[in-house]
Amino acid sequence: MSFVSTGFLLFLLIGVIVYYFIPKKVQWIWLLFISYFYYATYGIKPMAFIAFTTISTYIGGRLIEKYSNDGANKILKNKSNITSEEKKKIKANTKGNKRKVVFIMLLFNFGILAVLKYFNFGVENINGIMHRLFGIQYTIAGMDLLLPLGISFYTFQSMGYIIDIYQGKYEADKNIFKFALFVSFFPQILQGPIGRYNRLAHQFYEKHYFNLTKIQQGLQLICWGFFKKLVIADRAGIIANQVFDHDDKYAGVVVIVGVLAYCIQLYGDFAGGMDVVMGTAELFDIKIDANFRQPFFSHSISEFWRRWHITLGTWMKDYIFYPFSLSKGMNKFGKFSKKKFGNAIGRVLPICLADLLIFFIVGLWHGASWKFIIYGLYNGFIIAFSGMFQPVYIKMFEITHINAKTRTWRLFQIFRTFVLINIGWYFDRGNSLKDAVYMMYYSVKGFSFSALTDGSLLKLGLDSLQIMILIAACVVWFIVSVLKEKNIEVREAIARRILPIRWAIYIALIISIPLLGTVSAKVGGFIYAQF
């Protein structure tokens, strides 16, 4: 059941009405029911996977809590005349048992995700190595595997919960059905955000009362998300698909326009989807984490990734970056690097390696293809390189007397970051790694401004009127983004306007969606739903 369908709107209407009419103590049960009902609309088989993740994670959390230090203390209380050595042994055993449970949980759940998502990719590469390097003609057969919708999101969310329980951040949920709601809450099940238990779960179980203001704000955010998706993203997607799917026909400015169109499509599609998700949750008086914060106002690639897909970035930072960079092995490597290369490089080198690891995983998370791995490493190398040469940049500023705080320099940084991000889209959207490199080559080789005036751009699927609509819609979006960057809450600012102006804006937004959002069928559903 796509978010952009009348079926979803009807489902949402019924869900909200019943939610506020039933007794408050069973509201969470209704949320659990409609969440599983929604997921079932995509098929019964995928439900087995989310059920396995829920049950195994619930059991794992309870076992970790059982083997916690509190559990060790309970054992010690029941034993008299125990030596200090025996106490240490009991505590070590409980800690070891906790680690075993965490290891098993991570292995099973990430193992399922890896097999379903990457098995055929691995087989394909093994076959290629066997054929080309060793001349072995035997081919390992792939498998026709089901990839359940949203499996990456609910797996990461559940494993974050397990690690947090292990680290003692909060107690394990004792009600498996309440925990099931945390894993399966329907607005975020298909494309995130990746929620944290301590910020999300308690909201499900609290009493929620009908609040017209919150309902209005939720609907406004949903409409704004539909505007981004249907009016902007799907329209830009027609150009992007035409260029990338027929990359041998275009060169120069046309390819660059295709990349920029994909940038608009991806951002509008993902950010629009997040607005629909957040707005839908608000209808049930649930506040979930934002996933975007005006990423294209970033001054560097690292800042971009702190503003883009925020919940994935914070998950990677908390559960991979810090444990890896602060590990004993990296500590030893850091000391070795300081002796070998000096304090400046030795201090940042372990962090650079951690960045490369993170972005290798981010690339692989995007899909089972070398183009995604290169896409991730491309971003990782830029961030690592920037960290490594930060002292050099500071020295250059001193020599050239560049004031890094001036508006001109900041605008240059934003433009530079925008260019670097768009170079990465070649790998993200290209049909293959080879096609991505090919398109990059012909972007430069065949560069000419003539395509801007000879009508070439009008042969990419949109006529002049459609292009004008796309540009006008992007201008509106840009203005809203500038206001938000200045910490102006747009919904509240509109609500403070006089009634005629306020409702003129609301009506214009609502009417624009069916009137201008007429091209979505040519592009498809939300891009990130495939993860």
**Burial environment of residue 449 by CB neighbours within 10 A (0 to 12, 13 to 18, 19 or more):** exposed
| Contact predicate 266/184, CB 8 Å | no
Beta bridge partners of 292: 308
| Nearest of 334, 372, 340, 375 to residue 353 by alpha carbon | 334
CA distances from 474 to 195, 235, 239 (A): 29, 11, 15
CA distances from 329 to 11, 226, 333, 335, 360 (A): 52, 48, 6, 10, 19
As given in the structure block, the two tokens for residue 333 are 């490597």
Report the greatest alpha carbon distance in the chain: 92
Cβ neighbours of residue 254 under 8 Å, at least 6 residues apart? 243, 451, 456, 457, 460
CA distance 374 to 429: 12
- Give the pLDDT confidence score for residue 360 in this predicted structure: 94
User: pTM of the entire structure?
Assistant: 0.91
CA distance 196 to 61: 14
* b/e code 392-408 from CB counts within 10 Å (16+ = b): eeeeeeeeeeeeeeeee
| Contact predicate 484/253, CB 8 Å | no
CA distance 30 to 215: 18
**Burial environment of residue 190 by CB neighbours within 10 A (0 to 12, 13 to 18, 19 or more):** buried
Beta bridge partners of 308: 292
Phi, psi of 328 (to 5 degrees): -60, -40
Q: Number of C-alpha atoms within 13 angstroms, CB side, residue 154?
A: 33
- Give the pLDDT confidence score for residue 523 in this predicted structure: 56
- Give the pLDDT confidence score for residue 520 in this predicted structure: 47
Cis preceding linkage at 514, omega within 30: no
| Contact predicate 181/32, CB 8 Å | yes
C-beta contacts of 114-122 below 8 A and 24+ residues apart: 115/145, 116/145, 116/146, 116/147, 116/148, 116/151, 117/147, 117/151, 117/152, 117/368, 118/364, 118/368, 119/143, 119/145, 120/145, 120/368, 121/368, 121/369
Q: Cβ–Cβ contacts within 10 Å for residue 150, how many?
A: 25
- Give the pLDDT confidence score for residue 332 in this predicted structure: 86
CA distance 85 to 168: 25
As given in the structure block, the two tokens for residue 189 are 């099940």
Mean pLDDT by 10 residues, the chain (531 residues): 87 96 95 94 88 95 82 57 68 78 94 90 80 73 78 94 93 94 92 92 93 92 94 94 90 92 95 95 95 95 95 94 88 83 80 92 90 95 87 80 84 95 94 92 80 82 92 95 92 87 89 78 66 61
- Give the pLDDT confidence score for residue 518 in this predicted structure: 66
